[in-house]
């Protein structure tokens, strides 16, 4: 049970955390494929926690770099709390510790089903491997593109897709994503009473970003 709880705790950080979607026009667009942010881009977020997530607000800065994973070049979102790897298709194969040792990996890599457009729904099965114990746990995730709308955070107001997701670990996530930034704008994670760690919330908002020209 302790191992399962730890897996779900780590998984809540990573599950469907990153999606890049296109926009910028008055009507809801269709986002055909993942758009990789330029190397050297930086993003600073505010993370506010309650309940089983902890308490308080923390600022975290991440930088886009490149890494190798299982012989393939991938994009890395590098921050003080760890490294998230992304395939060229925008799916996450692994989450690493700050010193870049694998915490867990996903099979298949976890992510959204492109193209994205308002009203689209999908359900997909995954397996997450905990590298410390070699334990593999299956789970299912269901997502829906709810809307294409304005979202306001400290970094500004952006057109973004609102995507809701839930999974069989007891986690629910709502993410607002925009292609002009190259990252999510806002995210709200909720642990339900079903979650092994107990109920809690985590809200993440973009404070600032820089994208090399």
pLDDT for residue 2 is more than 60: no
pLDDT for residue 119 is more than 60: yes
CA dihedral 102, 107, 108, 109 (to 10 degrees): -20
pLDDT given at position 122: 98
pLDDT for residue 171 is more than 90: yes
pTM listed for this prediction? 0.82
Q: In this predicted structure, which of 27-31, 46-50, 71-75 has the lowest mean pLDDT?
A: 27-31
Query: What SS3 state is found at 110?
Result: strand
Long-range contacts: 134-137, Cβ < 8 Å, 24+? 135/3, 135/7, 137/4, 137/7
Residue-wise pLDDT tens digits, 178-202: 867 878 899 999 999 998 889 999 9
- Average pLDDT of the segment spanning 50-77: 96
Beta carbons within 10 angstroms of residue 59's beta carbon = 10
CB 156 within 8 A of CB 134: no
Q: In this predicted structure, which of 17-21, 54-58, 112-116, 193-197 has the lowest mean pLDDT?
A: 17-21
pLDDT given at position 83: 97
- DSSP per-residue string spanning 41-85: -EEEEEEEEEETT-SEEEEEEEEEEEEEETTEEEEEEEETTEEEE
pLDDT given at position 100: 96
pLDDT given at position 175: 95
What average pLDDT does the structure give for the chain? 87
Residue-wise pLDDT tens digits, 148-169: 999 999 999 999 999 999 999 8
Separation of first and last alpha carbons in the chain = 48
Task: Specify the number of domains making up the chain.
Answer: 1
Residue-wise pLDDT tens digits, 77-86: 999 999 999 9
Residue numbers of the domain that contains 40: 2-210
146: left (phi over 0), alpha (psi -120 to 50) or beta: alpha
pLDDT for residue 18 is more than 50: no
Please tell me which residue, 171 or 182, carries the higher pLDDT value.
Answer: 171
| CATH number for 73 | 2.40.360
Q: Using 50, 70 and 90 to split pLDDT, how confident is the model at 17?
A: very low
pLDDT for residue 203 is more than 50: yes
Q: Using 50, 70 and 90 to split pLDDT, how confident is the model at 31?
A: confident
Q: 138 preceded by cis ω (within 30°)?
A: no
CB 123 within 8 A of CB 29: no
172, β-bridge pairs:
166, 190
């Amino acid at each position: 049970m302790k191992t399962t709880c730890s897996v779900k705790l780590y998984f809540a950080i990573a599950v469907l955390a990153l999606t890049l979607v296109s926009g910028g026009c008055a009507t809801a667009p269709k986002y055909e494929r993942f758009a990789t942010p330029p190397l050297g881009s930086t993003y600073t977020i505010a993370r506010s926690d309650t309940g089983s997530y902890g308490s308080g607000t923390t600022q975290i800065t991440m930088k886009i770099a490149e890494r190798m994973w299982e012989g393939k070049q991938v994009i890395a979102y590098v921050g003080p709390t760890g490294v998230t790897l992304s395939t060229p298709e925008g799916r996450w194969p692994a989450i690493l510790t700050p010193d870049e040792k694998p915490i867990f990996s996903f099979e298949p890599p976890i992510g959204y089903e492109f193209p994205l457009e308002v009203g689209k729904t999908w359900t997909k099965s995954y397996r997450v491997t905990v590298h410390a114990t070699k334990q593999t746990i299956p789970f299912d995730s269901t997502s829906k593109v709810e809307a294409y709308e304005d979202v306001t955070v400290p970094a500004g107001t952006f057109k973004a897709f609102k995507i809701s997701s839930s999974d069989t670990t007891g986690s629910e996530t709502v993410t607002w994503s925009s292609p002009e930034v190259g990252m999510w704008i806002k995210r709200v994670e909720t642990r339900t009473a079903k979650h092994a760690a107990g109920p809690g919330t985590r809200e993440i908002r973009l404070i600032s970003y820089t994208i090399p020209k």
